[in-house]
Structure formats: C-alpha cells, structure tokens
Structure 1
C-alpha cells in the first residue's frame, strides 16, 4: 500500500508525445473480443431466504479475461513508453542508467541486454466494463487503474543484481522455467533470475522475456522483490486469476500495445510478426482469466461447471 500512496499521485505528470503510447489508446485497446474470450461455463446455486421461507436460486457462471495491467519493458531508465506514467520510474541514486552492453554489431551478440520493467494498473477499466457487460454479467479484475505494482527502479537489488534469485535452482538448471523450447530452436529466454539482464540477440524477444518476468513476480505473493501483488481474493461466486505461468494461456495472455498495437492476445513464444522498437521500448497489456456469477441469495451453495 505504501508504494501506491507514495507514487500514484505522480501518474499524470510525465511527458507527452503525439507518437508515443498514451492512456487513450491503451484504454481503447481493451475492446478486444479475442482477448476477452467470454464464455458461459456453468451454474451457481444460492440459498435465498425471506420471511416466507427459503428457496434455491441459480445464476449463470461466466469466465472471461480482464486487462489487469500494462507491463512495459524498456531499455532507457525513465523512458517508459507509456508517456503519462513516466514520472513513476525516473532514475534515482540506485538506478541511474540502462541500455544494452552492445553496440549492435553481430559479433557482440554474446553481450547482455538490460530492460527496465514497470507493471501499472490498466487504465481502461470503464471502457472494458462497458464492453464486457455487452456480453452479459462480467467479472472484476485485480488491477486498479494507474496503480504501480512493480517499478524496477525501486527494486534495484533484485532487478539489477539478481539478488537472491541468481542462486535459485530455476536460474542455474537449464530447462527450468524457460519461455520456449531448446529442442524446437525457439527458446526466447529463461524466467529466472527475474531481473532486467539477459542474453538475447532479438530485442523484441528480450523485451517479452522481461515482461514475463515482471508478470511472474506480481502475480505471486511473498517474492523477494519490491512490489505489490496483483491478486484478488476469492469470494462466494468469484474465482480470481492466480499465478501467471509462461506459455500457458489459461493463466494469462499478452496484448501488444507498442511498438505495434494488436487487437488480439497471445502467449510467449509466438510466431507472429515481431516489430523491433527503435529505442528498445515495448509494452503489453496483461489479460488474466476470472470466473464469477451474479449473487442471487444470502448463501453460496456451490457451482456446477459444464463440460
């Protein structure tokens, strides 16, 4: 909570640019039927009691994805491609610089790349709510508009020095928590250690791997990072999204916002056209699955899912 209170007031103070990613086009991108993936999945049962007696009522159980956050992955510290929130992640005494350890020569492909990452609540809540409600009853997500869930400039020890995750088994054993497969020659990178440094020739893939790392952190509790969990609590008739898992669309999927705005969602790795950002800055909307049903009584009795 302290992170949000300390920074949220700065959310509208950043520089603006007519060609950069902004709040208006992020909000409008939430109207994506492909990303929404609205489905009726079952029936919920409620016990309704009045002065005349009790009865069992039913309601439809639905499942769909919600754009919880915008995850930015960018090379130059202080230059989040989402212009209105740049003031949240300006350089500080422990996080001044950024960029890659290469001059873009092919013979230097073995050098490391570095990306900052910000996870900030998606600003399209109202637009999305109207859009999703057109399909029927809709579920709320965990994200709050403009709320900072992870700012890598405040997570210096873990993000820039991989402490303590450089010693985790996932970071040391090949094949654990990787995005893609070595056997198919489509390995984009490793999830651990979840910091800003990695070795990847393709800058788009590097940005995607760092975005996945940031999403992995915020969708879990108790991680050794400076962040706020992007998680909602289960309730009667409400089943929120859980931990994000790489390459598993049932846990979350990505909508590219910049450098090329997409109207559909996917997971990493993917075979779509990859546009390389000129300044190494990328952003995706993170969509996560939620299920819910409308309350029809005082007591929730359970639910039945369709096959």
Structure 2
C-alpha cells in the first residue's frame, strides 16, 4: 500500500455523500450492511499526516536511511449495543450471541408504579462486538494515504453482558471501588456544567437517569471502558493491540476525551459524524430502549521501509 498521499477521488466523495444523506433517516432495523456502509465518514475517520518515520535499510553491500510518512486516523473497532430487553440486541444479525440464560433474563426499568413519577432505575444490557466494516474502511482510508490496522476483529464478541452477570447485574466487586463511592470521580459530564449524564463506575447495567438515551450512552461508555483495559473484574476479551515498530495502537478509552475514542450513533438514528459523551446534539429516544454506537479509536502508523526502525518525529 502506497505511502504517497493523494486527495480523495470523486468516486469516493460520491460514495461518502450517498451514505451521509441516507444517515438522516430515523429509526430502522440495524443490520450488518448498514453498519458496514457507515464507515464512510470523513468526520469519524479524521485522517491526518502527523510526522515522519525513519528506517535503516541494508543490502549485502550497503545501508541507507529511508523515510515514510506517519499517519494518524480513527478506526471503528467495535459496535457497542446498549439495550433494555435481554436477547434483543438492535443489531439483528448478532442477536443469537446474547440470548437470555438462567442468570440473565428480562430487563427494563425500575418503577414506583405511579404514572406521574420518573422510573427509579434504568437497566441496559450491553454487547461489544467487532465492527464488520474493517475492509471497507481500509479501502476508504487507503485512498487518502497509508492506512493503519485496528485492534478489532469483525463479529468477535468482546463483551456480552449476559455472560458477565455477577458484575453487570450485581455490581460485584465494583460497587466497593473508590470510583463508585466518590462523587465527581469518573463521571460523564459534571454537575457544575449542568450536563451530568451519569457515572462510569460501577460498570454495570443499572443507573439512575430519567433520560433513556443518556442511560444507554452511559452504559455504552462503561462497556467501552472495560474492553479497552486489561485485567478487569469482568467476563470479557480485551480490545487492545500490541505496539510494534512503526505502529502505535489506541489505548484505554476515557470519558469525554476524543483523543482516546469517539462514538458514531448507529440507531435509532444513523449519524454521519462522531462525538463524545456528553454532547449537545439532538437525541432521539428509541421506542424499544435499544441503541447502538460504533466505537472509533485513534491509531498511528507508518509504512515499513527497512529492517530496523530508527524512530519517528512528529510535526508540531
């Protein structure tokens, strides 16, 4: 794959425009084809040339230093679904991965049984499954320049909350963590900013929040927080790649920090842009309480031009 940068072709731009216009549609059945086409977002990709890499290239007779361009862009590693009814992931093609079981059934919200009062508690299941659009994204990004590889594998289940019952439905052991017991610690938004959506800890399916969209977003953030770290007290697989010469993978996701990851809404509205939580964009409430986002994470890389990596220099 060439490291020479070229502007996007008219054909690519047309494809992007077609997808983005279709993204204005409201609630719909979310399937693999829709998710795959959603990767054609210039805003989410955020492709940049950020520096130069240096390589030592040797033959039988001599050695020389060669260079390659260092690029940085986001990759949709996973689809994170946050939904009320167990077994009803809004991504219909993967529902069979997380059916109800003896320890994880039903769903829904707590209530006072009074119509004039808000629900006491919200509950959301969460599934983190490898994004299926990797190949399309790679082809799309390579039209701009050299493209990096993400950590996600298509359709790989990284977290299924129905298999994480003790932590997801009982908050054990995280309800005893300092992050869960200290007001203002690891929160999405803030009281001072009047935009507090919820707390990251304990990272389970329950929270107190009257807004269903915000509840789902907080739970999605919790799921993303878990899978982008190692050795967490949950049943899951880490969504992490190993660094190597000329390759700098994404690290741990941090709430409200776009430099660690950002979210593209897939349902109930298909968005053509990415954002972090909290945000001020229009939030459509899902009729069945089911939501899904693509989790985009930043990667940097450069094309290998020699046997030994000498280092890299980033532009100011």
TM-score, normalisation: structure 2: 0.90
Q: Deviations over 1:1-60 (max 9, x none)?
A: xxxxxxxxxxxxxxxxx9410000000000100000000000000000001200000000
1:152 partnered with 2:124: no
Residue matched to 1:225:
234
Residue number in structure 1 paired with 2:117: 108
Equivalent position of 1:69 in the other structure: 78
Output aligned runs, 1:81-120, within 5 Å: 81-102=90-111, 107-109=116-118, 111-120=120-129
Does residue 186 (structure 1) correspond to residue 195 (structure 2)? The answer is yes
Distance 1:99 1:84, change over 3 A: same
Q: Distance in 2 between matches of 1:103 and 1:19?
A: 31
User: For the structure 1 residues 246 and 105, does the alpha-carbon distance in structure 2 shift closer, same or farther, using more than 3 Å as the test?
Assistant: farther
- The residue that corresponds to 2:63 in the other structure is 54
Tell me, yes or no, if the aligned pair for 1:102 and 1:113 is still in contact at 8 Å: no
Greater shift after overlay, 108-117 or 174-183?
108-117
Corresponding residue for residue 47 of structure 2: 38
Question: Whole-Å Cα distance in 1 between the matches of residues 304 and 213 of structure 2?
Answer: 44
Cα deviation, 1:210-258, whole Å, max 9, x if unaligned, reads 0000000000000000000000000000000000000000000000000
Q: Residue 184 of structure 1: CA displacement?
A: 1.4
- Paired position in structure 2 for 1:12: none
CA pair 299-104 structure 1, distance change in 2 beyond 3 A: farther
Tell me, what secondary structure is at the counterpart of 2:263? strand
* Secondary structure of residue in 1 paired with 2:135: helix
Does the 8 A contact of 2:112 with 2:120 survive in 1?
no
2:65, 2:140 → 1: CA distance?
31
Residue 235 of structure 1 aligns to a residue whose secondary structure is: coil
State the shift of 1:102 in Å: 2.7
Give the TM-score of the pair, scaled to structure 1. 0.93
Stretches of 4+ aligned residues off by more than 3 angstroms: 103-108
**Could you tell me how far apart the structure 2 residues matched to 1:245 and 1:191 are?**
10
State the shift of 1:291 in Å.
0.1
1:276-306 deviation digits (Å, cap 9, x = unpaired)? 0000000000000000000000000000000
Does 2:255 correspond to 1:246? Answer: yes
Per-residue Cα deviation, 1:119-169 (whole angstroms, up to 9, x for no partner): 000001111111111110000000000000000000000000000000000
Tell me the matched-pair count.
Answer: 290
- 1:23 paired with 2:32, answer yes
Structure 1: gaps of 5 or more residues: 1-17
Helix, strand or coil for the counterpart of 1:108? coil
User: What does 1:256-295 correspond to in 2, within 5 Å?
Assistant: 256-295=265-304
- Answer yes or no: is the 8 Å Cα contact 2:247–2:302 preserved in 1: yes
Cα separation, 1, equivalents of 2:298 and 2:310:
23
